[in-house]
Amino acid sequence: QVQLVESGGGLVQAGGSLRLSCAASGRTFSSYTMAWFRQAPGKERDFVASIRLNEVSTYYADYDYADSVKGRFTISRDNAKNTVYLQMTSLKPEDTAVYYCAAKTGRILTTTATSYDYWGQGTQVTVSS
């Protein structure tokens, strides 16, 4: 069992930056694949980015990004702090959404929201034009 709490959302102008944080509970944090999803009003919850420890070496991580955020967003994790981050740069109005932190067990990479076991409550990101 893991609990997730997001923070760092807010209002930013187009072209600006924000860093979201996801604090996770539990001593088995490093065993989970972590991800960020986002959901705009009236739309589905869409995959943003994910990170997992490399199965060959725990020092390295595997990453995955949605095409819409590649080159602009960076996901990272600090296992010592039990925290996952989403650094967002060059923000666009279409990035406006509630951003959710998610976690799942297992090694299967997936961008499907229903595959994730645990969710935070979300943090609002609003990008003005």
Task: Give the pLDDT score at 89.
Answer: 98
Low-confidence residues of the chain, pLDDT below 70?
Answer: 27-29, 54-58
Task: Give the pLDDT score at 56.
Answer: 64
Task: Give the pLDDT score at 28.
Answer: 59
CB-based contact 100:28 (threshold 8 Å): no
Amino acid at 70: K
Task: Give the pLDDT score at 31.
Answer: 75
Task: Give the pLDDT score at 118.
Answer: 93
Task: Give the pLDDT score at 41.
Answer: 93
R_g of the chain, CA atoms, integer Å: 14
Dump pLDDT digits (tens) for 64-87: 999 999 999 999 988 788 899 999
